[in-house]
Amino acid sequence: MKFQFKGGTKLQDVVRTCILGGCRLPYGQGETKEKGVWLVKDEGVYLMPANGEESEPCYADGWGEDTYIGGNDFAEFIPLSREQISRILIKKGSIDLTLTDTQITVKA
């Protein structure tokens, strides 16, 4: 399954929080030294800060909060490299995620 999070203010706000440090893994699994965001699926599919900072979620294109998706809800930590973070914050780049049964591929 593929999801695109278009570049712009909402995505930048979510990603900007990851450079502040203190990123956490979902479900109380502790902290990580990696920078990144959480991919969440419940009412829609969206990215949110992984450090507890308040930010409006960034929904995947076509997968807003009014979109029902079957199956269990989940949150997954998505690590981002410095280069990916720079492309999103400076060039207003997007994030493309591809999910398979065993792998998540990130392009930013």
What are 30-87's pLDDT values in tens digits? 999 999 999 999 889 999 999 888 888 999 999 988 887 777 788 999 999 999 999 9
CA distance 103 to 106: 10
Copy the structure tokens of residue 79: 């690590």
DSSP class of residue 19? Answer: G
Q: Residue 27's pLDDT band (boundaries 50, 70, 90)? A: confident
Q: Residue 89's pLDDT band (boundaries 50, 70, 90)? A: very high
Domain encompassing residue 96: 2-107
Query: Domain containing 69 — which CATH number?
Result: 3.10.150
Split into its structural domains, the chain has a count of 1
Per the DSSP assignment, residues forming a β-bridge with 41 are 45, 74
Helix (H, G, I), strand (E, B) or coil at 5: strand
**Order of all β-strands in the sheet with 36-42:** 58-59, 44-49, 36-42, 74-79
